Structure 1
Amino acid sequence: MQQSRIHLAIAAVATAIALPTFAAEPIIGLITKTETNPFFVKMKEGASAEAKAKGAKLLSAAGKTDGDNAGQVTAIENMIAAGAKTILITPSDSKAIVPSIKKAREKGVLVIALDSPTEPANATDALFATDNFKAGVLIGNYAKATMAGKPAKIATLDLFPGHPVGAQRHNGFLEGFGLKSLDAKSNELAKPAEVVCMADSFGDQAKGQTAMENCLQKNPDINVVYTINEPAAAGAFNALKKAGKEKGVLVVSVDGGCQGIKDVGAGKIAATSQQYPLKMAAMGVAAGVEYAKTGKKPSGYTDTGVTLIAAKAVAGVDSKDTKTGMDLCWGNK
């Protein structure tokens, strides 16, 4: 009888020790490039909602500006110290962040890249993101169909040299337009003869406007403008309007933020490829909770979807209207 009690007591202690491993609230970190960009605000919203639904604790942090690698390194260190077992990150510097991610993974932390891959891509356990090459192809298809055989003189307002997302969107656009391009794995920017001006906008409206003004000085006959995102597109439109050319130039872009969709509706942007940051983050949190419960890790690339949004449909190109775009956008409506 005494021996039975001892066995029961040992079993109870073993159970008590084992329970926290499975019952403890999973801690998941989200590190974005900035806190203010509506894209990342929506991402945080998706992560917060999914964490609440799944019973996880969400820690969040961001760089001070896009490109603030040091801020993201500090955030990783702080989250590991706080007990995070999964970290979701949108890398500001796809190469410089890799050593910090490596240290986190060596400590058993699951690291998932959102929106942008690291270099190399396998530096993280998985990537949940838009197919950026496809996003470019969609607006390239639309621009080509809209031009209907008219000779194109193209300006590209890109991100900055060497960034994989910037290269994928740029090269995808050229591919969709039917021009000589580079494949989705390249970080270089193709420049066929039809591209008469290439400039870096850093995804910023003011820089986009300056870039477009410079392009118009070099070639005033530009009639197609590809932009890395909608703030850059808004800057391009301002430059075109200032030059009295806003009516005769086709502007296409990528993102799908609420202001961008409004600009499509207003005719400032002809079409945009909409991506879904809320979905990226929600899927990342769900994967983190699954890892905490079972030890199962996601791997490789998961496509989180992209949709072409256009105010005017073009024959042969599948698109959705601006109402659909506004229903799914992020930022102030």
Structure 2
Amino acid sequence: MSGTPLLLRRGVAAAAAAALGLALAACNSDVSQVNSGASEAPSGKTGPVKIALLASSSQNGFNKAVYDGAVAKAKELGDVEVTIFDGKFDSQTQFNQVQNVASQGTYDGIVLVPNDNVGIAAAIPAAAQAKIPVVTTLFPVGPKLTELTPQVDGVVSTVAADTEENSKKLAEGVVEYCRDKDPCKVAILIGQLQFPFDNLRNKAYRSVLDPHKNIKVVATGQGNYDRDTSLKAMQNILQANPDLDVVLSNADQQTIGAQVALESAGMDLSKMYVTGGGGSQEAVKQVRAGKWAADQIDFPNSMGKAALEQVVNAVRGKPVTPVVDADTLGPVPVIVTKEVLDQHPGFKGEWAD
């Protein structure tokens, strides 16, 4: 998952698209208050602190790593309790969770891994009114997809990276690989184009690839951040395009599924240019083995630690960092190749699919 938008999804509920429309409509009226920095923190609480971690899906490996990082940081800080909520990869479910947490009076702060980062913004004012600070991870919350500085009152910090820029970096590796190939046939495997960040990623890829006349994007499949869905999508792509040169994927789960389809078709991945996104332990193994050419790395465990620290700071009235660049939280650069990993033999990835 990269991202990452990313958002890492094993499945997207059918109601998500409808919920997105409802949330966006609400967002137009409720996200009129824009910040130039962090929201004003509470005066400072003493005693136990309870944090609600609203996962996009509690069953997802990436989200579990965010939670594990938050729990580890809570133990380090002391007198902090973290409770995870399952967003079920459903926009409306998570929207309701924000409002419920805001109204219950049980929790002092929220760490959010958003499903729909634009639509969820309409729920945040309820938390702000209840003086419950929100820290968003992986994606910013609000209408501006590339703006990491908190945009909505109630969001005090964003722990994320520049998804658009990182997507372009991943696509630049494709351009280099394709330099002497004409045509160079590319299949893009994206999560779900209905989601803002997946659409942003796809546009970023195309902005890099399309100016090169030798590069032909022959298919775009939607993998839903799921192995089986991606396997089927790649099988369908291969029926019409059996001579692919490149698979440009934004999520490790998708690439793992695509790999099964490619190898079953007798293709040698080491001679292709295959990418993933998310930095899972399996992805790191595949890049080290030379089967995947590159992977875009995320550090979800470290993101969970950073997000928990910022939200507890806000609750306790301590200084809050409005933007934490997630790309700086790990020991390797955002795009890794076998050569890069050879220089970091101890790096294994922060999460298991």
Q: TM-score higher than 0.5 here?
A: yes
Q: Which residue is 1:292 aligned to? A: 315
Instruction: Tell me by how many angstroms 1:295 deviates.
Output: 5.9
Q: Which residue is 2:109 aligned to? A: 86
Identity of aligned residues (%): 21
Secondary structure at the aligned position of 1:196 is classed as: strand
| 1:250 correspondence with 2:273 | yes
Residues 13-162 of structure 1 aligned to structure 2 (within 5 Å): 22-63=45-86, 65-67=88-90, 69-71=92-94, 73-74=96-97, 77-78=100-101, 81-121=104-144, 122-123=151-152, 124-151=155-182, 152-162=184-194
Q: Which residue is 1:185 aligned to? A: none
Is the 2:223–2:254 Cα contact (8 Å) retained in structure 1? Answer: yes
Instruction: Tell me by how many angstroms 1:256 deviates.
Output: 0.5
Secondary structure at the aligned position of 2:351 is classed as: coil
Secondary structure at the aligned position of 1:27 is classed as: strand
Q: Which residue is 1:308 aligned to? A: 335
Is the 1:309–1:322 Cα contact (8 Å) retained in structure 2? Answer: no
Is the 2:98–2:123 Cα contact (8 Å) retained in structure 1? Answer: no
Instruction: Tell me by how many angstroms 1:96 deviates.
Output: 3.8
Q: How many residues align?
A: 295
Name structure 1 gaps, 5 residues minimum. 1-19, 182-191, 314-318
Question: Cα RMSD between the aligned structures?
Answer: 2.8
Is the 2:94–2:115 Cα contact (8 Å) retained in structure 1? Answer: no
| 1:205 correspondence with 2:205 | no
Secondary structure at the aligned position of 2:336 is classed as: strand
Q: Which residue is 1:217 aligned to? A: 239
Secondary structure at the aligned position of 1:170 is classed as: helix
Moved more, 214-223 or 322-331: 322-331
Name structure 2 gaps, 5 residues minimum. 1-42, 145-150, 328-332
State the distance in 2 between where 1:40 and 1:172 align.
Answer: 25
**1:184-224 alpha-carbon deviations (Å, 9 max, x no partner):** xxxxxxxx972111111111111111111121223223211
Aligned partner of 1:170 among 182, 199, 202: 202
Residue identity matched to 1:197: A
State the distance in 2 between where 1:277 and 1:59 align.
Answer: 16
Instruction: Tell me by how many angstroms 1:225 deviates.
Output: 0.8
**1:61-86 alpha-carbon deviations (Å, 9 max, x no partner):** 23263235315623652475253222
Secondary structure at the aligned position of 1:34 is classed as: coil
Instruction: Tell me by how many angstroms 1:298 deviates.
Output: 4.3
Larger Rg: 1
Residue identity matched to 1:163: F
What TM-score, normalized to structure 2? 0.74
Residue identity matched to 1:107: A
Residue identity matched to 1:309: V
Instruction: Tell me by how many angstroms 1:119 deviates.
Output: 3.7
Instruction: Tell me by how many angstroms 1:322 deviates.
Output: 8.2
Describe the shift of the 1:94–1:259 C-alpha distance in structure 2 as closer, same or farther (beyond 3 A).
Answer: same
Instruction: Tell me by how many angstroms 1:230 deviates.
Output: 0.8
What TM-score, normalized to structure 1? 0.78
State the distance in 1 between where 2:141 and 2:230 align.
Answer: 25
Aligned partner of 1:259 among 276, 282, 294: 282
Describe the shift of the 1:37–1:218 C-alpha distance in structure 2 as closer, same or farther (beyond 3 A).
Answer: same
